[in-house]
Structure 1
C-alpha cells in the first residue's frame, strides 16, 4: 500500500525507505490518539463521579434516621425541599394524619384558660395555659404552641411533622415532653410540658445578683451542681444518639431548669430537620461561637459536634452566663480555632472542670468522648467536687454587650423582650 501511494516499483530502494518512514510515523500517532481517547473517558467518568458526590454530600456523615412513619416528607439536598404529600388540601392532610395522632388528641375545651402569652414568633404564638381533666385536682399548667393562621399546606405539614417527631422520640426526663395536640381541625395546637422556672441562661444571670432565693428557687450555684446539670444534659444527648440523632444547638439558652435543678433540653428544631429531611436547612442558623470546627467548615454534623458545644455549656455555667471567646469577634472564630487555640481556664473553674472542657474541644471529632463516656467522667468528678463554695461573678449582664460579644441578636435574649425580665420571654420550646 505504501508503494502504491508513492507510485514506485518494487526495485526502487528509495521508495522502500520512505515506506518505512510512513510506518514509523503512523503507528505512534495511532497509539497517542488511543491514549488521549482513553484519558478523556477517564476524566469524564471522574468529573461525573465528583458531581454526583457533591449532590449527595449533604447527606453524608449523618447517621441514618428512621423515616417519619405517617408523613410524606422527603428531602432534595441541603435545601430541605419537601415534596408535598398526595393530599391537595389542608383538610385532607388532617384527615390522613388523624389516625396516627389519635392517642395524643386533647379536647379543646380542656385548654380554655389561657394564662399569658409567652412568645409571638414567625410560625405562631406560644401561650401558657391550664389543661383541665375530669378531676379538678389534676389540672396543670402547660405550654400551647399554636400555628399561625391562615397557614398553607406546607406549614401545616411541617407543624404535624414536628408533633409526629416528638411522638417518635417518646419520653425522657431530660427532654421537654409532648403532652398532646389538637389537630382534628383548625387552629392547630401542640401542647408541651411547662417548665415554669425558665431557661438556664436566665438562671445563671440571676445567680450573679446578691439574692439567696426567689420564688422558692435557690440562686446559689456550686461546682457540684454544675456537674449535676451537665450529667442531665448528657443523658438527653445519649437518648438522641440512641435514636441516631443529634441536637445541633447545645447551649444554656436551650436548656430549661426546674426548681430542683432538673434540666430539660429543648430547641429540637435541628434534630427534627435531620429526622424529616436528612440534613440541616440553610435557613436554620446557630450562633458561631457554639459550633464545632466541622460545622464552621460546613461539614456534616454529628453527636460529636454536640460534645464540642457541651464544653461551651460547661464554660457558660462556671462563668454564670458569660459569652464564650470574649476576646474574639464572632466572624473570626474559625480562624481562631484553626490556630488550635481554645479558651483559657476561667478563675471560677477548677482544673478538673477545665480538663473536661478541653476533652470536648479536640479538633478531631474522633478524639472527643462520646456522651456516655463523658457522663461517666462527670460523675467521677462530682464525687470530689465542692458543694459549699458558691460560684461568684460580680458583674451584672448588659444584654446589648452580651449579644455583641456572643454574636446573637438582642431580641433572642431571654431578658431582652420584656422589661420585667421574664425568663419565659423567648421561644425556647421550638
Structure 2
C-alpha cells in the first residue's frame, strides 16, 4: 500500500512540476522501439546476405579442375533407366549384383552379344574412371564377318550401384534408338560379370583432333581429307543440329555440345556422342553432383546454376561453330575460365575470327543471346545453316598456321589434358 502511495506521489509531483515529463516519456518510446526493430531487421538481413555470398563463393571455389563447373546435385528422385519405348524403373530393391542382373538382363535380350563373338581385343584406347575402353573385333553373320567396335568394360570389382548405372546407360541407348548423327549401341554383354557395352567405331576420331590435323600444311597432304572449307563447316554443323532435333523430340538435351564430343568419319559424317549428362537428367531428373562441364562452353543460365534445356545446347553450338572456323582454337582465349561468368554478365561475346564470314558470325551471335527464349531452336537454326551453306565458299581452305600444344590448349580452355587423350573417353 505504501509503494502505491509512493508511486502516485512521484507521478503527481511529475505532473505538477514538469507537465512535459509524461509526454517526453511516450515520445521516447515511440522513437526507440521502432529504431530497435529496424536495427534488428538490418542485422538479420546482413547475416542472410553474408550466408548467401559465402555459399556462392564456396560453390565456385570448390576443389576441382580449373575452369570446370560442378553441376547441381540430384534432388533424390529414384533412379530410372530408359527401356524400349519409355522409362522403365530399375529394380533397385535387389540386394546383390547377381540378382539384379537376373532381373535386368531379360529386358536387354535383343541386345545381348555372345562373348565368343568378341574374337579379339585390338587395343586399349582409354583408361577411364569407370573402366577401360578398347577397340575390339565383333564377328557376326553367316558367313561370319568381322566388324570393329568400341568395347567399354565396367571395372572390377563393381558394386551394385556401379552395375545399375552401367546397365541403365545401356537401356538408355536402347530407348534412344538409332539416328544417323548419334553414336549408336551395337550390343552388350550383361548376363554376368564383367559387363560390356559395345558401341560403333568411328575410325577418324573426334572432331577436335580432326580440326587440329587440318592445321597442317595442306599443300603436303594428299587429297582434301584434311582440308576444311566454310561450306563443310556448315555441313558438319547441320548434322549436329539434326542430332539435337532428335534429342529434343525425345524431350532430352545434350548438355555438353563441343568439338571434343563429336566423332567424325572420313566422309565428314558427324556423330554426336558424350550422352552421359542426357542420361542422368532423363533417369534422375537432375544432374549428378559429380558431373563437371568446362565453363567456357556453358550458357549463362547453366553458369548461374539454373535449369538447363535445349536452348542451352544452342549456345554451345555457337561455340562449336567458333571451334570449327578457327580449326580448334579454345573459346574466349583472352578470358580466364573462372572469369567467364563475369565476362558474359557484361553482355560481352567473342569477336569475329578473321577466318569467319559475317554470315557465319551473325549465326553465332544468334546462338549467344543472353535470354534463352530469344535463341533459335535447333530446327530454325538448321534452316539458317542450310540457307547460308548454299552461298558458302567451297574452295578456300581454312588455314591456321600454328600447331596446337595440348597442355597450353587445356589451360586456356579450362579442361584437363587427360580428357584430350582420346575421343572415346566421353562415351
SS at match of 1:261: coil
Deviations 1:287-337 (A, max 9, x none): 000000000000010000000000000000000000000010001000000
From the superposition, tell whether residues 296 and 323 of structure 1 become closer, same or farther in structure 2 (CA, over 3 Å): same
Matched, 1:179 2:176: no
Contact 1:217 1:259 in 2 (8 A): no
My pick for the range that moved more, 394-403 or 206-215, is 206-215
Higher relative CO (Cα under 8 Å, sequence separation at least 6) belongs to: 2
Across the aligned residues of Structure 1 and Structure 2, the Cα RMSD in angstroms comes to 2.0
Match of 2:24 in 1: none
Match of 2:247 in 1: 240
SS at match of 1:149: coil
From the superposition, tell whether residues 426 and 229 of structure 1 become closer, same or farther in structure 2 (CA, over 3 Å): closer
My pick for the range that moved more, 354-363 or 400-409, is 400-409
Match of residue 262, structure 2, among 255, 262, 279: 255
Contact 1:213 1:219 in 2 (8 A): no
Please report the TM-score for the alignment, with normalisation by the length of structure 2: 0.79
Match of 1:195 in 2: 202
Contact 2:74 2:284 in 1 (8 A): no
Match of residue 122, structure 1, among 129, 140, 145: 129
Deviation at 1:133, TM superposition (A): 1.6
Match of 1:402 in 2: 409
Match of 1:224 in 2: 231
From the superposition, tell whether residues 183 and 370 of structure 1 become closer, same or farther in structure 2 (CA, over 3 Å): same
* Separation of aligned partners in 2, 1:285 and 1:223: 32
From the superposition, tell whether residues 125 and 66 of structure 1 become closer, same or farther in structure 2 (CA, over 3 Å): closer
Deviation at 1:409, TM superposition (A): 1.1
Contact 1:254 1:428 in 2 (8 A): no
* Separation of aligned partners in 2, 1:187 and 1:204: 36
* Separation of aligned partners in 1, 2:272 and 2:152: 17
From the superposition, tell whether residues 329 and 297 of structure 1 become closer, same or farther in structure 2 (CA, over 3 Å): same
Contact 2:134 2:151 in 1 (8 A): yes
From the superposition, tell whether residues 141 and 72 of structure 1 become closer, same or farther in structure 2 (CA, over 3 Å): same
Query: How many residues of Structure 1 are paired with residues of Structure 2 in the alignment?
Result: 350
From the superposition, tell whether residues 114 and 308 of structure 1 become closer, same or farther in structure 2 (CA, over 3 Å): same
Match of 1:322 in 2: 329
Deviation at 1:135, TM superposition (A): 3.3
Deviation at 1:112, TM superposition (A): 2.1
Deviation at 1:428, TM superposition (A): 4.0
Please report the TM-score for the alignment, with normalisation by the length of structure 1: 0.78
* Separation of aligned partners in 1, 2:309 and 2:73: 12
* Separation of aligned partners in 2, 1:145 and 1:59: 25
My pick for the range that moved more, 226-235 or 110-119, is 110-119
Question: Is there any run of 5+ residues in structure 1 with no aligned partner, and where?
Answer: 1-56, 74-83, 415-424
Matched, 1:97 2:104: yes
Match of 1:333 in 2: 340
